[in-house]
């Protein structure tokens, strides 16, 4: 009975696998799906679709449509045999006997008789495994990170160690699909119906990436804030998604070899929040105060501070208040002397030289006559 069942199964499967198939991406994929198997579609609105074919055999002449932003990986008996990284329609061709079809010139002997004999030896199953997988070449969003406690790094601008709790997200890109599939994707995802998703909480491989990103945050912050081209300013991180992404990508590459071993790279980051510890907050306040008191703006702020002190001293009243006002006035006078050149004192109003000089200017301007000038000169000099 077993021999008859194997023979019937071999012949039935061989006949079903003669039909060409049309492969494309499955329905209902999440936007964060990274790797998944191509699925066959029934042609002509489902009429004439092949529902009896083997799930691991692709018939010669079958079409595989690759959408924009995806690549196609072909497998033969567990080994990657080809990669198509451009969108378009591709036709499957293989020398494997299981792929031969009487509809594509495979001949009756090779397409039917030889296939049936080979399958008979494997209990009615094909003696080969052929698979097609799509791999996403777009940026994969919503990969989140966050720290439960403070991370610490050496800050070049503050010139000391600072700490913060932070959270955010990053976009990930598969830059080498073959390396990614061979070295990182677990075998359980390399089968029909499975979707490798970095945001899947049950994906142990994705959880490992999360832990590695968190472990790389401290050196990434340090690299960014110690980079002179970034102005050594920690406050720029939240507005510089590309700049910090480069620092974070370099940190994970240095520690975990994402790009060289796994074909992965961080492209952009979005830091949602940075909560500094108490010491760092105090340091930032001092830096802001120092910035505000520098240059011309500093003079204005300093004058405003002195004026506020004078007002407060005056409101105190009594001798103490007056003493405060006097001291503040002295400070204002001293400060004004530092900030502006002192104008020369005006000559006394009864200075005869000043009067005659003014009269001469009026004479030259034609405002008075020579007689008027002579009379003023006689009166001023007491002649």
177-193 pLDDT, tens digit each: 999 999 999 999 998 88
Residue 53 lies in a domain: yes
Looking at the structure, do residues 34 and 47 belong to the same domain, yes or no?
yes
Looking at the structure, do residues 221 and 195 belong to the same domain, yes or no?
yes
Residue 153's domain is classified under what CATH number? 3.30.479.30
Q: Please give the sequence-ordered ranges of beta strands (E in DSSP) within 137-220, or none if there are none.
A: 140-146, 151-155, 160-174, 195-197
* Last residue in a domain, options 92, 107, 136: 136
Looking at the structure, do residues 38 and 84 belong to the same domain, yes or no?
yes
Residue 309 lies in a domain: no
Residue 357: which domain range? Answer: 352-381
The pLDDT assigned to 273 comes to 87
Confidence of residue 116 (pLDDT cuts 50, 70, 90): very low
How many domains does the chain fold into? 3
Looking at the structure, do residues 159 and 115 belong to the same domain, yes or no?
no
Residue 56 lies in a domain: yes
Confidence of residue 311 (pLDDT cuts 50, 70, 90): low
The pLDDT assigned to 204 comes to 93
Residue 313 lies in a domain: no
Looking at the structure, do residues 190 and 115 belong to the same domain, yes or no?
no
Looking at the structure, do residues 266 and 372 belong to the same domain, yes or no?
no
**CA dihedral (241, 246, 249, 251) positive or negative:** negative
Looking at the structure, do residues 67 and 165 belong to the same domain, yes or no?
no
* Last residue in a domain, options 226, 253, 276: 276
Residue 119 lies in a domain: yes
Tell me which DSSP letter residue 73 carries.
E
Percent of the chain exceeding pLDDT 90 equals 24
* Last residue in a domain, options 259, 276, 293: 276
Looking at the structure, do residues 221 and 238 belong to the same domain, yes or no?
yes
Q: Which residue has the higher pLDDT, 313 or 52?
A: 313
Residues 277 and 369: their CA atoms lie apart, in Å, by: 81
Residue 176 lies in a domain: yes
Residues 307 and 269: their CA atoms lie apart, in Å, by: 46
* Contact yes or no for 216/151 (Cβ under 8 A): no
Give the range among 25-34, 38-47, 199-208, 273-282 with minimum mean pLDDT.
Answer: 38-47
Cβ-based burial of 65 (10 A; exposed 0-12, middle 13-18, buried ≥19): middle
Name the range with the highest mean pLDDT among 75-89, 121-135, 138-152, 339-353: 138-152
Confidence of residue 15 (pLDDT cuts 50, 70, 90): very low
Looking at the structure, do residues 116 and 42 belong to the same domain, yes or no?
yes
Confidence of residue 302 (pLDDT cuts 50, 70, 90): low
Looking at the structure, do residues 124 and 234 belong to the same domain, yes or no?
no
The pLDDT assigned to 72 comes to 86
15 closest CA partner among 47, 51, 53, 49: 53
* Contact yes or no for 157/235 (Cβ under 8 A): no
Q: Which residue has the higher pLDDT, 175 or 234?
A: 175
> In this structure, what token pair is assigned to residue 323?
């003493």
Q: Which residue has the higher pLDDT, 22 or 207?
A: 207
Residue 293 lies in a domain: no
Residues 20 and 112: their CA atoms lie apart, in Å, by: 15
The pLDDT assigned to 348 comes to 56
Looking at the structure, do residues 218 and 233 belong to the same domain, yes or no?
yes
Looking at the structure, do residues 181 and 255 belong to the same domain, yes or no?
yes
Give the range among 138-152, 257-271, 284-298 with minimum mean pLDDT.
Answer: 284-298
Residue 282 lies in a domain: no
Q: Is 0.85 surpassed by the pTM of this model?
A: no
Give the range among 30-44, 65-79, 191-205 with minimum mean pLDDT.
Answer: 30-44
Element (H, E) at 33: strand 33-37
| For residues 355-366, average pLDDT | 80
In this predicted structure, the answer to whether residue 51 has a pLDDT above a threshold of 50 is no
When the pLDDT of each residue in the chain is averaged and rounded to a whole number, the result is 73
Name the range with the highest mean pLDDT among 196-200, 271-275, 345-349: 196-200
The pLDDT assigned to 23 comes to 81
């Amino acid at each position: 009975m077993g021999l008859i069942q194997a023979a019937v199964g071999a012949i039935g499967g061989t006949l079903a696998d003669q039909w060409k198939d049309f492969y494309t991406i499955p329905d209902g994929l999440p936007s964060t799906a990274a790797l998944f198997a191509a699925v066959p579609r029934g042609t002509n609105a489902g009429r004439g679709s092949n529902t009896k074919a083997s799930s691991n055999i692709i018939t010669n002449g079958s079409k595989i449509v690759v959408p924009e932003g995806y690549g196609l990986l072909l497998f033969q008996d567990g080994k990657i045999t080809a990669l198509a990284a451009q969108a378009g329609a591709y036709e499957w061709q293989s020398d494997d006997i299981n792929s031969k079809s009487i509809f594509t010139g495979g001949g009756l002997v090779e397409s039917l008789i030889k296939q049936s004999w080979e399958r008979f030896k494997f209990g009615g199953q094909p003696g080969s495994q052929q698979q097609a997988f799509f791999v996403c070449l777009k940026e994969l969003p919503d990969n989140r990170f966050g720290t439960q406690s403070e991370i610490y790094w050496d800050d070049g601008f503050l010139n000391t160690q600072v700490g913060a709790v932070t959270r955010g997200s990053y976009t990930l890109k598969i830059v080498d699909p073959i390396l990614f599939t061979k070295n990182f994707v677990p075998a359980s995802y390399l089968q029909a119906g499975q979707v490798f998703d970095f945001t899947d909480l049950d994906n142990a491989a994705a959880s490992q990436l999360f832990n590695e990103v968190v472990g790389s945050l401290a050196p990434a912050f340090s690299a960014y804030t110690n980079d002179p081209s970034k102005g050594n300013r920690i406050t720029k991180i939240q507005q510089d998604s590309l700049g910090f992404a480069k620092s974070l990508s370099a940190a994970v590459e240095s520690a975990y070899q994402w790009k060289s071993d796994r074909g992965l790279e961080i492209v952009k980051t979005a830091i949602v929040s940075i909560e500094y510890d108490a010491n760092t907050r105090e340091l930032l306040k001092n830096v802001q105060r120092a910035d505000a008191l520098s240059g011309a703006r500093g003079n204005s702020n300093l004058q405003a501070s002195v004026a506020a002190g004078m007002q407060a001293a005056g409101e105190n009243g009594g001798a103490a208040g007056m003493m405060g006002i006097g001291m503040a006035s002295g400070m204002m006078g001293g400060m004004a002397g530092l900030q502006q050149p002192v104008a020369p004192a005006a000559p006394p109003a009864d200075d005869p030289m000043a009067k005659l000089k003014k009269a001469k200017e009026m004479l030259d301007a034609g405002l008075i006559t020579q007689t008027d000038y002579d009379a003023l000169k006689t009166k001023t000099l007491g002649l």
